[in-house]
Structure 1
Amino acid sequence: MKIAVAMSGGIDSSMAAVLLKETGHEVVGLTAELSAGLIARYYGPSRASTNAESARAVAESYGFPLHTVNLENDFYSIIVQPFCSEYLSGKTPNPCIHCDSLIKFDRLLRHARSLGCEKIASGHYARIMKAANGRYYVARGRETVKDQSYFLFMLSQESMKDIIFPLGDYTKSKVRKMAEERRLSAAERPESQEICFIPDNRYAEFIERATGKAPGPGDIVNTVGKVIGQHRGIHTYTIGQRRGLGIASLGPLYVVSIDARNNRIVAGHREELETAGLFADTIHYMRETDLNDRRVLVKTRSTQTPVAAYLKKEDNGILVVFREPQVGISPGQAAVFYGDEMDILGGGIIVRSIKNTTGSEP
């Protein structure tokens, strides 16, 4: 089978390509140019990624072609601009979710098809399955710590039928060992922990450079509205943040909410971070097409241990009622709904947290 592999130059995508090649498939490497030009423009050429060189070394060693696909314009308009806009509105978006569904497994998949490839593969730690009802869905793979299923909940049914995740049955430690045994140069590269287009995770600095906007300072208030300090700009804060508030208090203070309309940060003690539920919209159905009146497991962050919750359809979205109070619920992030076997039923984008859900659960 002729299979395209989305190659970033890292250990995971490199091993995905190698495993497919070793099992007899015709592999075509695809390296997407997404943000190198953007980073070079804002930070200088020296900061731009050299991932393509690592991917090229693997392709040459294993004798398969590597194509470079320039998607920078799409990436900027579909991912970067909305990210900046959301951040400036007080939300905390997750660009990787939209990049996976709208860039890697849409634009890049189209390019793979234009080359005559039947499938596209990547180095994600997840599995794609097909339910008895005929619907495709993503499920957690063997790797649990680096599980990436959360980022994939918006994949379309049309794209999933042509996607392969060769690492779904491996752990990260096993993949690293296999890469070392094959002496892949990618095995020596440090693992990236940052958003690809934001060097050093300096979000505020990037947003200011990309938009030319630097939101001004304003009040920090407590949960009853009393002014207790000053902030440096709402785009420099996230829900649950503790450091950098600069406020003397008898106990630790956290960012409880961000009031962009009034340019205010609301701070409180940890118990004031607790929420009974959340409301999500932009609902995407995956294994199921109806999530009303369902008991599920929910993740509101990629690294979170799933928590039990009840779902109820409301208006144009879904009300999520947690079995136990949760903290750090951030508008703009995703709420992903799983079944007992860690198969994704669907998910949505968090609009707001809800303090009191009394009467919402049967």
Structure 2
Amino acid sequence: MPSFHRPARSPGTRPATPEPAREPGRVIDCAVYVDGRRLWDESTYKNALAEVRERHEGFVWLGLHEPGLDLMSDVARTFGLHALAAEDAVHAHQRPKLERYDDILFLVLRTVQYLPHELKTVAEIVDTGEIMVFVGPDFVITVRHGGHGGLAGLRKRLEGDPAQLALGPGAVLHAVADQVVDVYMEVTTAIEEDVDAIEEEVFTPSNKLQIEAIYQLKREVVELRRAVKPLSLPLQVLTHDTSLPLPKEIRRYLRDVADHHTAVTEQVMDFNESLSALINAALAKVSVQQNTDMRKISAWAAMAAVPTMIAGVYGMNFTHMPELSWTYGYPIVIVIMVVLCAGLYGNFHRNKWL
């Protein structure tokens, strides 16, 4: 059996298979793993796959970032991927799902990222992306879309745990799903703080919160729910379907991921209900404030109507009107106006209109 750690081959050892060169930002990493240990970086994924199949052991882990149609088509031909799955990997915007093509599994996960923001402003809070994972007997291909959810750190952590990586391509599938769900938990914790802060703002009498901020947070929670909730079914299938080409130990690990995902899903649903209640409370608060303002306006209008009515009567141009020639008529009328307005003010104040 050949040694696991061989010196690098000279360029003439094996004829190079023509294929597209690595494009910056497209092929992120490609390596061969045997017994959980990374042997070397292959210059091309075709050579890597040929090496694994020549050894009859180990697997290839190819990482791609937003591949173009030409590159993904070549990858599909090399690894035997179904054309429909390869098309999904290029165009993205897929719901979380699990598909099986003979002995190849295709898992789509939505990644999320929490964006820091001011509580009372209308701004984007959750950014989403995608990770597709192709799992075959001797390879795993990860395709990432979006500016977050990088897998370089995950690859290093797995390389530091050869026993886990020795379980094969399924170990990478589990690690990717576990990282995605862990980020779900971090994002929901951050959003929970936002929901609590908005709840405090809504139920504090002196604070005036823009209701648009609550609508924006609810919209972001809905987007988070669309990213998180559909993953329940694929995880259920991965953990319970024994006919899938996954080791029993991997299914056990995936059960833990499914449990965490269930907790996250329930929390997101609670956020949606809480924000709906907060919107109703905020609308009720606005309605109460409007009613209070209308009562104040009505009270002041009533007090203004009394002197207006008296002044209007004595503003009529009739020749014969009572008290027109009376010396004390003007001051008496002014006093009457003040007394009536003061009485109205006192009455409105007692009834808490003013």
Which TM-score band applies after superposition, normalised by the shorter structure? under 0.3
Flag the structure with more relative contact order, 1 or 2, with Cα contacts below 8 A and sequence separation at least 6: 1
Which structure: greater strand fraction? 1
TM-score by length of 1: 0.22
* Higher radius of gyration, 1 or 2: 2
Which has more helix, going by share of residues? 2
